[in-house]
């Protein structure tokens, strides 16, 4: 079976989760895609830092250029963040004929168009599903699904840290405690100011605007307000009005103009975006053919992000595959004719708290 | 610009909607994919039947084999339904090097594995997003997104007609009236017995089981009960208990066995699947990396189905594209910093009725 040799940039929350996911689900991935994924090099900032994840120390290097230029590497998976030097690394990787998979919303929002063009020119994949909404297939929905649709509106919750903090504030916890908890869980950005000022959501919205409306946008072109403007009193008042404050990212097309913004809003409890708890993200899209489409799931954290990265990795391996293994398992399918009450109760608890 | 020449099989609700969508959004599709979509032949059962959709009469033929064998056709879009003769047409089309896009859940559930293998062997696309959940990207989620994940459970509402009838019964309308209304709206299958007995949902669940669990399943291997077993009293009782009856399609993996079934269940209102109204469909997936993912949207009708078909058509055109047009529009992005109350109220009305 052929292999796909991966050069991993970064071994923080996301990079570690990718290494873990490939160790645990590597065989599964190989059966499904027809190629064995192997991490052949890992670029880190500090070689001797103690780490949670066990990676063969021989793979580690603190020379990122060496990974990007290694002729044996087929795909660069980038999980370091920031516009530079990430953009230079990814440009070099694509120019050398490597596929690129990235979780970095800053580089995609600032330089995504140029990297997409370069990838097209060299016939390689530039994939960034993990850059918005972690485990939610929000990029794929625009790139591969709503291709023939005209999108009229996007309303989304795409900053997991803000949603987590707001959910905690609803339980009476102070802002600072909730933020510290989000950081401890690996949900927050390295600089949490990006999360709480709405800047992170604006960068992600810029990416969605490019895909949904074929329009040039960057984080700087989108006016944003963050949850740092929300007081405990605001949260309590919304609650007593049957609403929840959520950080919305909205883009709307009307007669050839586009209106967009990121802001905290008081959303009626019945609204699907008001039902997102903790670090959940949600995307509501309106388009002419599909009508209204809603997606909800885990929008932050290393493990959900690794799910999207493995999906992107599969797209680099096997673009002609029809996405099914050659041999299907012959399993006995037991009849199931009841909806188990404990499970229904568990869902109700999750959604009704 | 290159073209993609389409042979359309069938001009019912789905076929007509595809012709309409390509007429209205054909340029949009061309800008995004780099290929101009052109319907070059349309196979119909009755040549002179009056039709809602305006198709050049010269394109029509009642000889389906002629369309399938036409050397100028690049892609067959199949919207006729049923296992045979559809399977023979699609096999012939693939053997002749054409891509195939189908909305036909019967043929995909009965013969999808063999058609997928054939497409792989000849290097062509066999795509069937429209066969389950109309506008929802449920096939893409398994084929391209959760590739590296191990799925443990699927819980879904995937029969729009049943959900529509149950929603109408909640308003006190009789079953027969609701079914007639679903047929008039183009939601129901040609034989509505497939909808109300749960057979249609079982066929769709078989497709999802193949993709999610890499397991061989057909509609026949899945025990199903339909909404024809639900009385007005059942609906009223669920309602007074704070629940809604929904037709669930469930598949669950435990220790190497798979339990699956289709059945009406009383679902707590807080559950995301209980919130689906009318012909909406929903899919809840649990997997090891992504956690819980939920998708909701319009699950029946010609127009939402055409959305999925155009997405599949794009995949046949441009498999190396990165999914963005070469030139992005330079639009002024107006600041938006409020959540419009009328809109929030409209959503609340949709979701809270």
Which CATH number fits the domain that encloses residue A275? 3.30.360.10
Is the residue at A329 inside a domain? Answer: no
Q: Quick check: B298 and A290 CB within 8 A?
A: yes
Please indicate, yes or no, if residue B10 is contained in any of the structural domains.
yes
Dihedral angle computed from the Cα positions of residues A33, A36, A37 and A38, in that order, rounded to the nearest 10 degrees: -170
Q: Is pLDDT at A348 greater than 50 in this prediction?
A: no
Rounded Cα–Cα distance for residues A306 and B252 (Å): 23
In this structure, are residues B205 and B109 in contact, taking their beta carbons and an 8 Å threshold?
Answer: no
Mean predicted confidence (pLDDT) in A68-89: 98
Residue B234 lies in a domain: yes
Burial of A284 (0-12, 13-18, 19+ CB in 10 A): buried
Between A89 and A1, the more confident residue is A89
pLDDT > 70 in chain B, percent: 93
> What is the distance in angstroms between the Cα of A85 and the nearest Cα belonging to chain B?
23
Confidence of residue B333 (pLDDT cuts 50, 70, 90): confident
DSSP state of B284: E
Contact assignment for B148 to A29 by CB distance below 8 Å: yes
**pLDDT band for position A54 (cuts 50, 70, 90):** confident
Q: What ipTM does the predicted assembly reach?
A: 0.94
Is A311 touching B (CB cutoff 8 A)? Answer: yes
Q: Which residue has the tokens 């040609």?
A: B190
Calpha distance A140→A283 (Å, rounded): 12
Are residues A291 and B306, on separate chains, in Cβ contact within 8 Å?
no
Q: pLDDT tens, B10-57?
A: 999 999 999 999 999 999 999 999 999 999 999 999 998 888 777 889
- What residues contact residue B99 under an 8 Å CB cut-off, 6+ apart? B74, B75, B76, B119, B124, B125, B126, B127, B316
CA angle B215, B220, B222 (to 5 degrees): 65
Q: Which residues of A touch B213 (CB under 8 A)?
A: 329, 331
Q: What is the DSSP secondary structure assignment for residue B323, as one 8-state letter?
A: S
Per the domain annotation, does B107 fall within a domain? yes
**B119: closest CA of chain A, how far (Å):** 8
A20 chain-B contacts, CB cut-off 8 A? none
Q: Are residues A127 and A197 in the same domain?
A: no
B238, B284: one domain: yes
Same domain, B203 and B159: yes
The answer to the question of residue B344 being in a domain is: no
Q: B148 and B294: one domain?
A: yes
Chain B residue whose CA is closest to A30? B148
* Rounded (10°) angle between helices B199-213 and B105-122: 30
Please report, for the domain that includes residue A69, its CATH number. 3.40.50.720
Question: Chain A, 153-172: which have a CB under 8 Å from a chain B CB?
Answer: none
Mean pLDDT calculated for residue range A41-62: 90
Q: Which of B150, B248, B331 sits opposite A215 (nearest CB)?
A: B331
Q: CB distance B148–A313 less than 8 Å?
A: yes
Q: What is the pLDDT of residue A353?
A: 28
Q: How far apart are alpha carbons B303 and B283 in whole angstroms?
A: 20
Please give the residue that has the higher pLDDT: either B231 or A329.
Answer: B231
Residue B77 bridge partners (DSSP): B8, B101
**How confident is the prediction for chain A on average, in pLDDT?**
92
pLDDT band of B352, cuts 50, 70, 90: very low
Residues 106-145 of A with CB under 8 A from B: 113, 116-117, 119-120, 123, 125-126, 129, 135-137, 140-145
B333:A258 CB<8 A: yes
CB spacing of A135 vs B290 below 8 angstroms: yes
Total structural domains within chain A? 2
Q: Is residue A335, in this structure, part of any structural domain at all? A: no
A204 is catalytic: yes
Picking from A246, A157, A135, the residue whose alpha carbon sits closest to that of residue A204 is A157
Which of A269, A298, A327 is a domain's end point?
Answer: A298
Minimal CA–CA distance to A204: which of A268, A165, A270, A156? A156
Q: Does A150 lie in the same domain as A102?
A: no
Catalytic site residues of B? 204
Q: Across residues B91-99, what is the average pLDDT?
A: 98
A352 touches chain B (CB under 8 A): yes
Does residue A346 fall inside a structural domain? no
Which residues of chain B are within 8 Å of residue A146 when distances are taken between CB atoms? 307, 311
Do B148 and B245 sit in the same domain of this protein? Answer: yes
Q: Is residue A331 part of a domain?
A: no
Cβ contact B331–A258 (<8 Å): yes
pLDDT at A350: 38
Same domain, yes or no: B226 and B307: no
Predicted pLDDT at A343: 55
Same domain, A100 and A189: no
User: Could you count the other beta carbons within 10 Å of the beta carbon of residue A45?
Assistant: 11
Which of B255, B271, B298 is the C-terminal boundary of a domain?
Answer: B298
SS3 A288: coil
More confident residue, A300 or A341: A300
The residues pairing with B127 across neighbouring beta strands, listed in sequence order, are B101
Same domain membership, residue A194 and residue A47? no
Q: Is there a single domain that holds both residue B229 and residue B310? A: no
Interchain CB distance below 8 Å, B137 and A142:
no
CA gap A149, A253 in Å, rounded: 13
A292 and A144 in a common domain: yes
Interface of A with B in 253-292 (CB under 8 A): 256-261, 263, 265-268, 270-272, 275, 287-292
**CA atoms within 13 Å, Cβ hemisphere of B23:** 11
Domain holding B111, by residue range, is: 3-134+302-317
In a shared domain, residues B123 and B147: no
CB contacts, 8 Å: B337 with chain A: 223, 225, 261, 263
């Amino acid at each position: 079976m052929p292999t796909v040799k991966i050069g991993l940039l970064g071994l923080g929350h996301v990079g570690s989760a990718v290494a873990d996911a490939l160790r645990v689900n590597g065989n599964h991935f190989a059966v499904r895609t027809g190629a064995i994924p192997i991490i052949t090099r890992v670029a880190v900032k500090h070689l001797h830092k103690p780490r949670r994840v066990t990676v063969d120390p021989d793979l580690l290097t603190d020379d990122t250029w060496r990974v990007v230029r290694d002729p044996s590497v087929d795909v660069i998976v980038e999980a370091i963040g920031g516009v530079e030097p990430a953009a230079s690394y990814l440009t070099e990787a694509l120019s050398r004929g490597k596929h690129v998979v990235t979780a970095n919303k800053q580089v995609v929002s600032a330089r995504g168009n140029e990297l997409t063009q370069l990838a097209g020119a060299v016939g390689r994949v530039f994939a960034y599903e993990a850059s918005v909404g972690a485990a939610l297939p929000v990029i794929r929905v625009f790139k591969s699904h709503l291709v023939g649709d005209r999108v009229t509106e996007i309303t989304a919750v795409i900053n997991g840290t803000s949603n987590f903090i707001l959910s905690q504030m609803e339980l009476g916890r102070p802002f600072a405690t909730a933020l510290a908890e989000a950081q401890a869980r690996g949900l927050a950005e390295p600089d949490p100011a990006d999360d709480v000022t709405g800047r992170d959501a604006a960068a992600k919205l810029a990416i969605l605007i490019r895909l949904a409306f074929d329009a040039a946008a960057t984080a700087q072109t989108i006016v944003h307000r963050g949850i740092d403007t929300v007081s405990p009193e605001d949260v309590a008042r919304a609650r007593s009005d049957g609403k929840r404050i959520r950080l919305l990212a909205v883009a709307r097309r009307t007669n050839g103009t586009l209106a967009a913004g990121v802001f905290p809003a008081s959303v009626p409890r019945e609204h699907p975006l008001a039902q997102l708890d903790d670090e959940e993200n949600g995307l509501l899209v309106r388009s002419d053919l599909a009508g209204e489409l809603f997606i909800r799931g885990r929008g932050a954290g290393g493990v959900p992000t690794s799910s999207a990265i493995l999906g992107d990795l599969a797209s680099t391996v096997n673009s002609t595959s029809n996405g099914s293994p050659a041999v299907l398992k012959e399993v006995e399918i037991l009849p199931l004719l009841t909806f188990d009450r404990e499970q229904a109760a568990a869902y109700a608890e999750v959604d009704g708290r």
